């Protein structure tokens, strides 16, 4: 039976869309039960609705500085939808220890770098400035701390001589869209999954 998964977004939602599209396949171990955005203008909301997925806006700005109340509302919505796992997909807010603890072991995030290098923002720009030759993305369990937590899966891409921020971001994003559904499936089934055939320089590594 498919496990019910919630997704939190703040913006474009391309990773959310990749998760939804994979979950639509009969043999995928999850279904997307709910997408919640913390911003009413998150573009991903319409992409989810077009795919027939339930959406909610729980706007952080409505709660002001009361992060606990915002997260209590998020948590209540996810539980009402029967979500057992939670994916952060471009959700650009730090979570409090309360929510992290409540979803411990069942909440994952995707980040556009090979963690532990380049946590935070502007990862592609920083990778170019550092002169790294390999860059990529990471799916990790969410724990306290920004872009921290045990690494579940990574995919790497080469940094090419004439790359700029947008060409590098686009190359990484292709891998994000393959890695995130693979890592979610691996977490749910407790199994490793084959590396996506379209993978780049280094095969995705999934463990745990």
Residues with active-site annotation: 111
Among 15, 154, 175, 199, binds ligand GAR (CB under 6 A): 15
Spatial distance between the Cα atoms of 208 and 206, rounded to a whole number of angstroms: 7
Strands 134-141 and 107-111, by their bridges, are antiparallel
- Which DSSP state fits 132? -
Rule CB under 6 A: say whether 176 interacts with ligand GAR.
yes
Distance of alpha carbon 57 from the chain centroid: 18
Least Å from the CB of residue 1 to ligand GAR: 27
Strands 151-158 and 202-206, by their bridges, are antiparallel
Cis-peptide into 197, omega within 30 deg: no
Q: Which CB sits closer to ligand GAR, 173 or 201?
A: 173
Rule CB under 6 A: say whether 12 interacts with ligand GAR.
yes
Among 6, 8, 13, 171, binds ligand GAR (CB under 6 A): 13
Q: Do the beta carbons of residue 22 and residue 43 sit within 8 Å?
A: no
Binding residues for ligand GAR restricted to 83-122, rule: CB under 6 A? 89-90, 110-112
Least Å from the CB of residue 7 to ligand GAR: 10
Q: Do the beta carbons of residue 102 and residue 95 sit within 8 Å?
A: no
Q: Nearest residue by C-beta to ligand GAR? A: 90
Q: Which CB sits closer to ligand GAR, 82 or 164?
A: 164
User: CB-side exposure of 72: number of CA atoms within 13 Å?
Assistant: 5
- Which DSSP state fits 83? -
Q: Identify which range of 7-15, 54-62, 75-83, 126-134 contacts ligand GAR by CB under 6 A.
A: 7-15
Rule CB under 6 A: say whether 157 interacts with ligand GAR.
no
Q: Which CB sits closer to ligand GAR, 80 or 146?
A: 146
Spatial neighbors of 101 by CB under 8 A, at least 6 apart, are none
Length of the chain: 208
Rule CB under 6 A: say whether 147 interacts with ligand GAR.
yes
Site residues, ligand GAR (CB under 6 A):
9, 11-15, 89-90, 110-112, 147, 173, 176
């Amino acid at each position: 039976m498919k496990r019910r998964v919630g997704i939190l977004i703040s913006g474009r939602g391309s990773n959310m869309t990749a998760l939804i599209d994979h979950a639509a396949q009969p043999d995928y171990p999850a279904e997307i039960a709910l997408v919640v955005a913390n911003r009413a203008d998150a573009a991903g909301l319409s992409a989810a609705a077009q795919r027939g997925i339930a959406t909610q806006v729980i706007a952080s700005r409505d709660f002001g500085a009361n992060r606990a109340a915002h997260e209590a509302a998020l948590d209540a919505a996810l539980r009402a939808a029967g979500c057992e796992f939670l994916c952060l997909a471009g959700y650009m807010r730090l979570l409090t220890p309360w929510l992290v603890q409540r979803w411990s072991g069942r909440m994952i995030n995707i980040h556009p770098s090979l963690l532990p290098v380049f946590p935070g923002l502007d990862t592609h720009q920083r990778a170019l400035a550092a002169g790294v030759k390999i860059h990529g993305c990471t799916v990790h369990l969410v724990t306290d701390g920004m872009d921290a937590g045990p690494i579940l899966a990574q995919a790497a891409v080469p940094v090419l001589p004439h790359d700029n921020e947008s060409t590098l971001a686009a190359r990484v994003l292709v891998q994000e869209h393959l890695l995130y559904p693979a890592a979610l499936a691996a977490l749910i089934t407790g199994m490793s999954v084959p590396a996506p055939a379209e993978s780049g320089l280094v095969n995705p590594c999934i463990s745990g």
